[in-house]
A = this chain, B = another copy of it.
Amino acid sequence: MHKFDVIIIGAGSAGLSALREVRKRTDNFVVINDGPWGTTCARVGCMPSKLLIEAANAFYRRTSFDEFGITGADQLKLDDTKALQRLRRLRDDFVTSTLKITNDLGERAISGRARILSPDQVMVNGKKLYTHKIIIATGSRPVIPQDWPNLGKRLLTTDTLFELATLPQSMAVIGMGPVGLEMAQALSRLGVRVTGFGSRSFIGGISDPLINQTAVKLLSEEFPLHLGGRASVVLNSDNVITVRIENIEVEVDSVLAALGRQPNVDGMGLDTLGVPLDDRGLPSVNPITLQIADLPVFLAGDANKRLPLLHEAADDGHIAGLNTTEAELICFKRRVPLAIVFNDPNIAMVGQSYRSLEHESIQMGEVSFTNQGRARSAQSNRGALRVYAAASDGRLLGAEMCAPAGEHFAHLLALAIDQSLNVWDLLRIPFYHPVLEEGLRTALRDLSSKLPACSQSDLAACGPFNSEALD
C-alpha cells in the first residue's frame, strides 16, 4: 500500500502556494482539484474584477474632461462587447500563468472531487489514497440566498458576470461588501443602471463611521444605494425582476449576488475527522499553524473562512505546505491586517480597525481630501482618511480611508504598523511636494497635535528630525 507524504486538495491560490513548499521537500504528493483548474483570483476574482474596473474608470474619466479643457467627451461610447472581450483575453492570460504551475505534475495532478475518509485516507474518482498529511484548500463560492426565485441567467455572481457577451441595461447589486461595491461602481461607470442594496449601514468592510459616511456619500452620487435592510427579490408573473427594500422597489434586468463567499467543504467528509464542526460545517483551525485540532490535517485559504484575500490565502498555503513537510510544527506571526477595496476613491483598512480599538486609550487624526493640492490638480479631491494611535506613546495602530491613492497609503501605513512606529517616526520621512501623501501627513500632524508627547516632539512632527537637541 502506497502512502503519500501529503495530499493537497484544491489547486487554487492556497493550494498552489502549499504545493510550492511541499515539492521543495518531497516528490511523494498529489494535488487533487475539482472543476476547472486555475485560481479564484485569476478566474473569477481579483483579476477580472480589476479589468472591469480599469475599463470603467477609463470611460468615467470623460466626466473630468470639460474642466481640463478637453472637448468631445460626449462622442465617447462604450463598446461593451469589446470591453468584455478584452477582460476575458487578459483574464485567460492570467489563468494560463497559474496553470503552468501544475502542468508539469503529470500523474501527481488529479482531476476529481476528493472526499476525506479519515485523517489518512482520501477517496477520489472511486480510488482510495493513503497519506500522512492532508491540506484542504478547496476555496469558496459565492453565496446565493435559498429563498430567491429562480432567475436563470439573470441571476449573476462573479462566477458568471465576466462571461457576459454584453452588459445588461439595469442591475441590482445585492450586498455592499468589497466585491459588491467594486462591481456596482464599475458597472455603473460602464453605463449600466445600477442600484446597490446593502443589509448593513456600513459598506465595504469599513468600520469607522466618518469613513463610512464619506464612502456612502461619494458612491451615492454615482448610483442609488439602499442600506440597512435585507433586499428581497421577486420574479413577477410577467417575468420582471423586482428588488425590494422597505418601501423602495426597483425593476431590474438582472441581479448580481454579492453576499459573500462560502467555503467549499460540503460533502467532503470533514465529519469523519472526529472534531466538532460549526454551523457552516467547519472545524476550528489554529490560525498560526492552520492545523485542525491535533490532526495531520490543515485547512488553508478561503476554505477556512478566515480572510478571503489572495495574500492571506497565499500565506496560508505556505504555512500549510511547511507544516505538512517540516519535522516540527511552526507557528507563524500573521501579517498586519490589510484590506483594500478598489473603488474610486480607494477604500482601505490597515492594522486594527476602528471597531476593534479601545477608544479611551487611542487618539485619532483625520484629513479630508477636498482641498488637498495635488488631488485638486487631478480632480480627485474627494475622500477622507483617519489614522489611529495609542494615546500613551503615539504608536500607530491602524487607519481607515476612502481616499485617492488609498491603496498606496495602506502599504506605507502597514510598514509603519508592522515596525511598531509612532506618528513622529512616520512624519520624519520626506513627503515630496506635491503628492497625495501630503494628505496623509495632514492627518498624522492632526494626530500628533492631540498627543501629549507632541510638545516635546514638535520638530520631529513638523520639520526635520533634530538629532542632537531632541533625542
User: Which A residues are within 8 Å of any B CB, using their own CB?
Assistant: 17, 21, 41, 46-47, 50-51, 54-55, 58-59, 61, 64-65, 67-73, 75-86, 90, 94, 309-312, 314-315, 318-319, 322, 328, 330-340, 373-374, 376-379, 405, 407-408, 410-412, 414-416, 418-419, 421, 425-426, 428-435, 437, 459, 462-469
The A contact surface, by secondary structure, is helix
User: Which listed residue (B65, B319, B340, B419) contacts A425, Cβ 8 A?
Assistant: B419
User: Which residues does chain B contribute within 8 Å of A463, judged by CB atoms?
Assistant: 17, 21, 314-315, 318-319, 322
User: Which listed residue (B68, B86, B429, B459) contacts A69, Cβ 8 A?
Assistant: B86
- Whether A333 and B432, one on each chain, are in contact in the complex, defined by CB atoms closer than 8 angstroms, is no
User: Which residues does chain B contribute within 8 Å of A405, judged by CB atoms?
Assistant: 408
User: Which listed residue (B69, B318, B408) contacts A80, Cβ 8 A?
Assistant: B69
Given A50-B374, A51-B377, A467-B331, A430:B414 Cβ within 8 A: yes
- Whether B82 and A430, one on each chain, are in contact in the complex, defined by CB atoms closer than 8 angstroms, is no
- Whether B58 and A65, one on each chain, are in contact in the complex, defined by CB atoms closer than 8 angstroms, is yes
State the copy count for this chain: 2
Pull 17 A–B residue pairs with CB atoms less than 8 Å apart, ordered by A.
A47-B434, A54-B378, A55-B68, A55-B69, A59-B70, A68-B83, A69-B80, A71-B76, A314-B463, A328-B469, A330-B466, A331-B468, A335-B428, A408-B408, A408-B437, A411-B435, A411-B437
Complex CA gap A59/B85 in Å reads 25
- Whether B432 and A428, one on each chain, are in contact in the complex, defined by CB atoms closer than 8 angstroms, is no
User: Which residues does chain B contribute within 8 Å of A72, judged by CB atoms?
Assistant: 72, 75-77
Query: A48's closest neighbor in chain B, by CB?
Result: B377
- Whether A335 and B83, one on each chain, are in contact in the complex, defined by CB atoms closer than 8 angstroms, is no
Q: A90-B377, A319-B464, A408-B437 are in contact. List 5 more A-B contacts (CB 8 A).
A: A69-B85, A71-B76, A330-B469, A412-B412, A414-B429
User: Which listed residue (B41, B70, B309) contacts A79, Cβ 8 A?
Assistant: B70
Complex CA gap A432/B59 in Å reads 25
User: Which residues does chain B contribute within 8 Å of A338, judged by CB atoms?
Assistant: 430, 432
